[in-house]
Amino acid sequence: MKLFNRMPAEVRAAVVPPDRVLTYAEGPDGYVIATDRALYLGGVRLPWFQVDRGVWDEEGLTVVTTAGQSHRALLPEPGRIPEAVRERVTASIVVSQYAPLDARGGVRLVARKADDDRMIWEFVFDSGMDPADPGLRALAEQALEETRRSFGV
């Protein structure tokens, strides 16, 4: 972790309090900053509970949000950003439980802890299943209630 007094002014200016900088790396398009509450990427603040995954390649980082949006940053020298992204995304997940729904497949029920300690639930349906199908939604809601009771959340 880099010391606060050695942190570039641009990094300090980009972070919204009460976020606390964990690590940062500079790329050609600016800084990527990992804080305890969010990832700052290309001028966008992405709270950890909204980050589904980070994908790395030799040029940099692509972050996919739970809403399916993609954000890309070139990072030839990522420093500790990869570890911070992995750790913070994993830490935001409280429950990840698969529930079979019918003969077509099932749904993964994911609870993520938001900054204000709320639980945000997400349905991740198996490939080929229509999340807008009212019958599947009803089955998924029923599975969610059972999961909430069993995990106490």
Q: Which domains does the chain have, with CATH numbers?
A: 4-91 (2.30.29), 93-151 (no CATH)
For the segment 32-46, what is each residue's pLDDT rounded down to a tens digit? 999 999 999 989 999
For the segment 116-140, what is each residue's pLDDT rounded down to a tens digit? 889 999 999 999 999 999 999 999 9
Instruction: Tell me the pLDDT of the chain averaged across its residues.
Output: 93
Please give the pLDDT value at position 153.
83
Is the bond leading into 47 cis (omega within 30 degrees of zero)?
no
For the segment 39-88, what is each residue's pLDDT rounded down to a tens digit? 999 899 999 999 999 999 988 999 999 999 999 999 999 999 999 999 99
Please give the pLDDT value at position 149.
94
First to last CA, the chain: 33
Q: How many CB atoms are closer than 10 A to CB 138?
A: 11
Please give the pLDDT value at position 121.
96
Residue among 62, 51, 42, 25 nearest 34 (CA): 25
Position 1 pLDDT exceeds 90: no
Position 4 pLDDT exceeds 60: no
